[in-house]
Structure 1
Amino acid sequence: MSDADEIEMETRRRSLAVEGAMLMLIDGLAARGTISADEAEDMLRILSKSSDSSAARAASSLRIVNQLKRLRRGDGAITPGA
Structure 2
Amino acid sequence: MADSSAQTEISYLPPSSPPANHGHTRAAWFTTIVVVLGSTIAGVAMCIAMMWMIWVGAAVVLVGLVGGKALAVAGYGQAPLGTADTNTH
Q: Shorter-chain TM-score: which interval?
A: 0.3 to 0.5
Structure number with the higher helix fraction is 1
TM norm structure 1: 0.38
TM norm structure 2: 0.36
